[in-house]
């Protein structure tokens, strides 16, 4: 996805979109709390599973640092399905209230920390699949852009609730 034109995103855009995600979680909070076992429109996940996944990834800054540190590594990253499964499993004992709080805290931490990340780190190319991608784009597409897909699924699952 990386190309000669430079990154497709930037730090302020990531912060802005994370803010939007935080607003949506807040707006849906009562329905999420009342219906954590509602099935999502597609797949096997329930609302709780999607919130667990969001909680695990709410702050995309650690993902940035992980991708940068992996640049000189020959190790294979964990598959997306494996990572998602672990994120949900690791939070099985948490209440839905705790998961929502983890989302809120992660979103807030990302918004607070993003201005402290150097342009050098943001514009660095990092491993992505079989190629490379700009670090800031990994944060955007693997962060708030990805979150919106799950938030849309949660919203659809809770439409008539």
**Domain extent for 102:** 11-157
Torsion angles phi and psi, residue 39, rounded to 5: -70, 145
Q: Which two tokens stand for residue 46?
A: 């329930």
Mean pLDDT by 10 residues, the chain (161 residues): 62 91 97 98 96 94 80 71 88 97 97 90 83 87 93 97 82
Residue 49 lies in a domain: yes
User: CATH number of the domain that 145 lies in?
Assistant: 1.20.120.450
pLDDT of the residue at 77: 67
- Nearest C-alpha neighbor of 139 from the set 14, 18, 53: 14
pLDDT of the residue at 2: 41
Residue 50 lies in a domain: yes
Q: What is the dihedral of CA 156, 44, 22, 103, to 10 degrees?
A: 160
Number of domains in the chain: 1
Residue 153 lies in a domain: yes
Q: What is the pTM of this model?
A: 0.88
pLDDT of the residue at 31: 98
Rounded CA-CA distance 95/134 in Å is: 35
Residue 2 lies in a domain: no
* Chain Cα centroid distance, residue 49: 13
Residue 5 lies in a domain: no
């Amino acid at each position: 996805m990386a190309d000669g034109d430079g990154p497709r995103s930037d730090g302020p855009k990531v912060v802005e979109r994370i803010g939007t995600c935080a607003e949506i979680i807040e707006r849906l909070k009562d329905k999420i709390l009342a219906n954590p076992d509602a099935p999502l429109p597609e797949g096997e996940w329930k609302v709780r599973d999607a919130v667990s996944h969001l909680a695990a990834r709410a702050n995309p800054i650690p993902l940035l640092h992980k991708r940068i540190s992996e640049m000189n590594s020959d190790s294979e990253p964990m598959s997306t399905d494996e990572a998602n499964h672990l994120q949900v499993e690791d939070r099985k004992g948490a209440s839905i209230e705790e998961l929502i709080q983890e989302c809120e805290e992660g979103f807030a931490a990302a918004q607070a920390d993003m201005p402290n990340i150097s342009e050098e780190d943001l514009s660095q190319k990092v491993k992505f699949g079989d190629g490379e991608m700009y670090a800031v784009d990994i944060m955007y597409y693997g962060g708030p852009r990805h979150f919106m897909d799950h938030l849309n699924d949660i919203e659809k699952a809770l439409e008539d609730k």
